[in-house]
Amino acid sequence: MRGNIKAFTLIEVVIIIGLLCTALLLLAKVFPLGFEAKHKAEDYSIMGVLVQKILEEIKKEGYRGLQKKYPEVSPGYGRKEGIFDEHPRFSWQVEWWQTEIPNLRKVKVRVYGKTEKEGTPSEIKVITYLANRE
């Protein structure tokens, strides 16, 4: 009768527990990567909105307002940078150049953030053109 009893031996139980623990540890290592990806995605979303905000202000001010708000550093070139009050982790930079075409300026808007890990820059750059319509 003893030969027909089916049961787990102690070695089988230890092996199964070891495999389950290994699987759980591997799964636990994935969570920080997911959180890091989530934070990066949030940062890029915020930076996209901030770039759009600066571009809308530049469009609103127009061709002449560009030179007033972002002063000329050298002839035909202006630049200014700063930090967002509402998002102090992010900085901005606006540069503009007078193109070879009269009454047309090239504008570059850059928004960048301070990342937790060194060597992983996070920035968004947008280049557009602004014409003098007067």
Element (DSSP H or E) covering residue 133: none
Question: CA angle, 44 as apex, 49 and 79 as ends, to 5°?
Answer: 65
120 has pLDDT over 70: no
pLDDT (0 to 100) of residue 115: 59
Q: Give the contacts of 125 (CB within 8 A, at least 6 positions apart).
A: 108, 109, 110
111 has pLDDT over 90: yes
Question: For 79, what's the count of Cα atoms within 13 Å in the CB-facing half-sphere?
Answer: 6
Confidence of residue 117 (pLDDT cuts 50, 70, 90): low
Could you tell me the pTM of the whole model? 0.73
pLDDT tens digits along 35-80? 888 888 888 899 999 999 999 999 999 888 998 899 989 999 999 9
For residues 12-30, average pLDDT: 88
For residues 100-127, average pLDDT: 83
Confidence of residue 82 (pLDDT cuts 50, 70, 90): very high
pLDDT (0 to 100) of residue 56: 94
pLDDT (0 to 100) of residue 26: 86
